[in-house]
Amino acid sequence: MLTRISLVLIILLRLCEAFVPTQKQLQLSTLNFFFPNKNQPDEPAKPVPVEEEPDLVEKIFTVFFGKPEESPLGLKRFDENRFPEQYPATTTDFDVEPVETDNSEMAYLRPLLRKTNLEKRGLRLTYDANRDGWDPVKFHAAVDKQGGGLVYCESRLGIQAGGYNPKGWVGYGEARGSIAAFLFQRQGNRWIKLKKVGGASFAQVDNPESGPSFGADSLVIPLSKDNPKLARSKLGSYFERMPDGGNSLFGKDASVQLKTLRVYHGVYGPDEYIPFTDAEPLALY
């Protein structure tokens, strides 16, 4: 019944749009009435500001709830600036100033955090494989329940790469989803960012017996006992390919040996809420 009412409302609004003149059409009709023999006035008319007409959805909303307010109930509207991680990562905007507490590496990585929840938040190094050990247990002991984190690694050949995990780790074996997740690589003096594709799912496979895993294969660092410094990358299924069509973060190599692996998290106060520190409902797939 509700669907039929909605359909009737939409048809009526379409008819109104077809037969009711707009404000601009009324202005032209008035001008032609008073100046029937003139195609245009002798002097160019000053532009009259015309309010932008609402779209169909906004018209329906207005019928039932009145004109939308700028700050309904004192609350600001949902948009990309207030909730950036509800949108895909930006790949072109790196305009971020370092935070006062940034060291040289944090300032170096800071542009990658543009339009994320960590953009203006201080960072701390939570996991350093060379300091804490190339081991999945030590990895999860350091990063679990710390919120979203940035993974940075460097291969033995000097290729710098990594990824941003907005949902963080908890070590429950989940496939944690986020449309705002991204991978990155350093090329010359600039960063290349690769967006999540195929929806939000499988942004991070959070297995307690493994290190970071972006997608099932996009950037996987197992930290296994027999080959702890191995990193694999196959792009295209869960994250974009490289701009040149390449399907690995490590150039022509599908797997490499790392010499550096670090994870950064945001700094939170003792009474401040840290997001994404528990299991995600319906994420156990």
- Predicted confidence (pLDDT) per residue in 84-115, tens digit: 999 999 999 999 999 999 999 999 999 999 99
Q: Distance between CA atoms of 162 and 251, rounded to whole angstroms?
A: 13
State the pLDDT at residue 285. 43
Q: Per residue, what are the HEC states of 80-130?
A: CCCCHHHCCCCCCCCCCCCCCCCCHHHHHHHHHHCCCCCCCCCEEEEEEHH
Pairing of strands 255-266, 219-220: unpaired
Determine the 3-state secondary structure of 56 from DSSP: helix
State the pLDDT at residue 281. 72
State the pLDDT at residue 80. 77
Residues 60-84 pLDDT 10s: 666 666 666 655 555 556 677 788 9
State the pLDDT at residue 83. 87
Residue ranges of domains in the chain: 124-266
**Nearby residues of 179 by Cβ (< 8 Å), 6 or more positions away:** 86, 87, 88, 196, 199, 200, 203
Rounded to a whole number of angstroms, the distance between the first and last alpha carbons of the chain is 36
pTM value is 0.74
Buried/exposed code over 254-283 (b: 16+ C-beta within 10 A; e: otherwise): eebebeebbbbbbeeeeeeeeebeeebeeb
What share of the chain has pLDDT > 90, as a percent?
68
State the pLDDT at residue 269. 95
Q: Which residues of the chain have pLDDT under 70?
A: 1-78, 282-285
The letter for the amino acid at 75 is: L
